[in-house]
Amino acid sequence: MTGELFGRERAVVAPGAVLVPDWLDPAAQRELVVACREWARPPAGLRTVRLPGGGQMSVRQVCLGLHWGVVTRCPTCGVARKASAGCPQHWFPYAYTRTVQDGDGAPVKPFPALLGALARRAVAEAYGEAYGTAYGTAFVQAAADGDEGVPAGPVSGVEGYAPDVALVNHYGEGAHMGLHQDREERVDAPVVSLSLGDSCVFRLGNSETRTRPWTDLELRSGDLLVFGGPARYAYHGVLRTLPGSADPGLDLGAPGPALTGRLNITVRQSGLA
């Protein structure tokens, strides 16, 4: 008995949320760390993220495909309020944009094919054929309704799943991420999360409140967490990382310097295609 709430076994941690420990083998982890290093380079590289209240996040982040960040007014309608009647694509205070409007202003880097392929495998691994029936209900409904940008007809397996955005977060010592929902996407396709480097304590809560019930899990290097369906809008966050906990034998960062801290990649489908 290790004292962990969930052992190192595949687990459905909440309806719609599937944890697959050690999903990435060491070679795949190394490949991703090296790729993250490339993505982190300027222009449109790793940045400190401003928060709406004027503070800043303790993680540093780089976005791929579309840029996620805080805007001072809606890029579509210019209104600086959460609601704006008649705005066709209202974003406030967070938005997806094509440039790093809260950083160096450069165009966001493209979404890498490598992450698209990995995320498809991840969703198939987590849900199998259930995805598109149980876990993408609004998406499937939109498809059935013939909504623009959504393939017509039933969606099964990972057909119709078209991830196009990734957020890469680096957690240095002491970094954490407060409880939040991922809700800037316009479809409810699942979020795929890959962890690299130091372990962390990840909190998966419920969709209604920031309070209990929640489940705390340890995410280690190579772990996959997919949250979709009933868990798609669950509050979640990173309470703390466990500095120095990554297995040095993984040789993360090679042939460059060793990775310090934790990297997390979330792959999403924006629905903005």
Ligand X SMILES: O=C(O)CCC(=O)C(=O)O
Contact between 182 and Fe ion per CB under 5 A: yes
193 binds, among Fe ion, ligand X, none (CB under 5 to 8 A by kind): ligand X
Distance CA(29)–CA(25), nearest Å, equals 6
For Fe ion, the closer of residues 140 and 217 by Cβ is 217
Residue 128-167 contact track with Fe ion, rule CB under 5 A, x = bound: ----------------------------------------
Burial of 32 by CB count in 10 Å (0-12 exposed, 13-18 middle, 19+ buried)? buried
Distances in Å between the Cα of 151 and the Cα atoms of 140, 155, 156 are 9, 8, 11
Interface contacts to ligand X, rule CB under 6 A = 167, 169, 177, 182, 193, 202, 219, 236, 238, 264, 266
Alpha carbon 107 to chain centroid, angstroms: 20
Q: How far is the CB of 227 from Fe ion (least distance, A)?
A: 9
Question: Which residue stretch of 112-120, 130-138, 144-152, 174-182 sits at the interface with Fe ion (rule: CB under 5 A)?
Answer: 174-182
Answer with the entry of Fe ion, ligand X, none that 267 interacts with (C-beta below 5 to 8 A by kind).
none
Give the C-alpha separation, 76 to 55, whole Å. Answer: 24
Q: Which does 96 bind (CB under 5 to 8 A by kind): ligand X, Fe ion, none?
A: none
Choose from Fe ion, ligand X, none: what does 241 bind? Cβ within 5-8 Å by kind.
none
Take residue 149 and report the two structure tokens written for it.
């940008």
The residue among 129 and 208 lying less far from ligand X, judged by its C-beta, is 208
Quick one: which of 31, 8, 4 has its CA closest to 256? 31
Contact status: 185 vs Fe ion (CB under 5 A): no
Q: Please give the size of the binding site for Fe ion, defined by CB under 5 A.
A: 1
In the complex, least distance from residue 50 CB atom to ligand X, rounded to whole angstroms = 15
98 vs 183 by CB, closer to ligand X: 183
Euclidean distance between CA atoms 169 and 68, whole angstroms? 12
Give me the sign of the Cα torsion angle 91, 95, 96, 98. Answer: positive
Task: Name the residue whose CB lies closest to Fe ion.
Answer: 182
- Asked if 41 and 256 touch (Cβ cutoff 8 Å), the reply is no
Nearer to Fe ion, 58 or 84 (CB): 58
Separation of alpha carbons 59 and 47, rounded Å: 9
Q: H or E stretch including 213?
A: none
Residue type, 122: A
Q: Which residues bind Fe ion (CB under 5 A)?
A: 182
